[in-house]
Chains A and B, each alone.
Chain A
Amino acid sequence: MFAGTAYGTALNDRRQVAALDPAFRAAPYKAPPQAPVLYIKPGHCVVAGGAVVALPAGCDALGIAATVALQWTVTGPTAVRLAIDVSIPHDNFYRPAVAELARDGFLPVGAAIRRPADLDALEIVTEIDGETVHRWSLSNLVRNVPTLIADVAAFMTPMPGDMLLVGTAFDRPTAGAGRRIRVSARGFPALEARIAAAGDGA
């Protein structure tokens, strides 16, 4: 088990926030988000690359959001790794989505490397069963990495060992049982995971 806490950032994709703006001005939201919208993926979510992610009973496919996790060390958010933010697809942001986001094994992560000075143009590629299905650039972020770090630090202090996922794509793919996921980005060790039906070796 990973001893730290992983924090995810929702609604940090510019196209998503633009598309949902009319909805966000209506009930139950009533106003667009102001502060970073975070969620928690406890240490039990975190699994190493190559892990098998179990489909929960009654769920046909999982959301596969390839992203970058900032990793806090004793010297601050100085490391990064690729991560797959696995979720049960949901489109309601009103209440905390613990059942959808915080399940055991729902955060495969790759090896950590030193954080590059600039991540603003990093493109993250997702393959499913060897076919490229999604490309997403961190140039889409509402808050880029330095801004996100500053805005989160305004209300909480990540500790060494904690991670912060920088955001997830609006149009993330989904994958069902048996699918093999591979996530890559220039300069990062690639990350793989496999989806399995509940009870199938998971």
Chain B
Amino acid sequence: MKHVRLVHAGREQWGVLSADGASVRLASGHDVAFDEAVLLPPVTPGARIFALGLNYADHSAELGFKAPDKPLVFLKGPNSLVAHGGTAWRPRDAEQMHPECELVAVIGQTARNVAEDDALAHVGGYTVACDYAVREYLENYYRPNLRVKNRDALTPLGPWVVDAADVGDPQALRLSTTINGAEVQSGSTADMVFPIARLIAYLSAIMTLEPGDMILTGTPHGVAFVNDGDAVVCEVEGVGRLAHRVELAP
């Protein structure tokens, strides 16, 4: 099942996407046409949002880094998220804004000191993120710094959370990004330096993961820059196709 978060009839709700993808069934029994739904990023309010840097060896090499010996984890605030169909705003003083397609694991049950072998059982579902970086703002303090990675609406996320049971092996999924239909990123989750199970084991030794917590698992190679008016699509096989536009910030 695919779980959609939206605003309908004046309040935030969650619903389930129909088999043909045309509508969302709400708990009340109402159906909302998917194309007309006012979507929200499918995040549990209050959940932690972890993200990974340099978690694909080919992307690290492209940036001139060697792959790290422990996960390069950073955190994001909910201000950074924007729903499928939304707009990511390019800052007026920056040209080097590049999209990063990522598989997102959503925790489904409490995880504390879990072993890698048991870790995937703690995943409830998956979604897709485009974790933009704005390279002009990189500084070498707590890098990647929040001015690069925690800007308002520079992390499109969605369109939905799909049940983990419907995805199969999360380390064998194709990821891609297109800008105006042209492919700029193509990779496989098989190439993660730290696979999802190891990330959950690592994080759960530091803190107690709770249902809804999200792990943006990093991006493969392909550094491309976006321009105003671009239509960007990030897709993870079997999870979803996340579309958004880029516009110049006011």
Which residues of A are at the interface with B, using a C-beta cutoff of 8 A? 1-3, 5, 7, 10-11, 28-31, 33-40, 42-44, 93-99, 102-104, 155-159, 162
Query: What residues on A are CB-neighbors of B78 within 8 Å?
Result: 5, 159
Which residues of B are at the interface with A, using a C-beta cutoff of 8 A? 45-46, 48, 50, 72-80, 137, 139-147, 150-152, 206-208, 210
Identify which of A31, A34, A42, A95 contacts B72 (C-beta below 8 A). Answer: A95
Residue of B nearest to A5 (CB): B77
Q: Are A29 and B140 in contact (CB under 8 A)?
A: yes
Q: Are B147 and A35 in contact (CB under 8 A)?
A: yes
Q: Are A44 and B210 in contact (CB under 8 A)?
A: yes
- Supply 11 A–B pairs (Cβ within 8 Å), ascending by A: A3-B45, A38-B142, A39-B75, A39-B146, A42-B48, A44-B207, A96-B72, A96-B74, A96-B143, A98-B73, A156-B147
Query: What residues on A are CB-neighbors of B152 within 8 Å?
Result: 156-157
Q: Are B79 and A159 in contact (CB under 8 A)?
A: yes
- Per the bound structure, the CA–CA distance linking A86 and B137 in Å amounts to 28
Q: Are A37 and B142 in contact (CB under 8 A)?
A: yes
Q: Are A42 and B75 in contact (CB under 8 A)?
A: yes
- Per the bound structure, the CA–CA distance linking A158 and B80 in Å amounts to 10
- Per the bound structure, the CA–CA distance linking A182 and B33 in Å amounts to 56
Q: Are A39 and B147 in contact (CB under 8 A)?
A: no
Query: What residues on B are CB-neighbors of A11 within 8 Å?
Result: 141
Interface centre among B76, B77, B152 (most CB of A within 10 A): B77
- Per the bound structure, the CA–CA distance linking A96 and B73 in Å amounts to 7
Q: Are B77 and A156 in contact (CB under 8 A)?
A: yes
Q: Are B210 and A10 in contact (CB under 8 A)?
A: no
A6 nearest CB across to chain B (Å) = 9
- Per the bound structure, the CA–CA distance linking A29 and B142 in Å amounts to 10
Query: What residues on A are CB-neighbors of B147 within 8 Å?
Result: 35-36, 38, 155-156
- Per the bound structure, the CA–CA distance linking A157 and B48 in Å amounts to 17
Residue of B nearest to A106 (CB): B207
Query: What residues on B are CB-neighbors of A28 within 8 Å?
Result: 140
- Per the bound structure, the CA–CA distance linking A7 and B79 in Å amounts to 12
Q: Are A162 and B77 in contact (CB under 8 A)?
A: yes
Query: What residues on A are CB-neighbors of B145 within 8 Å?
Result: 35, 37-38
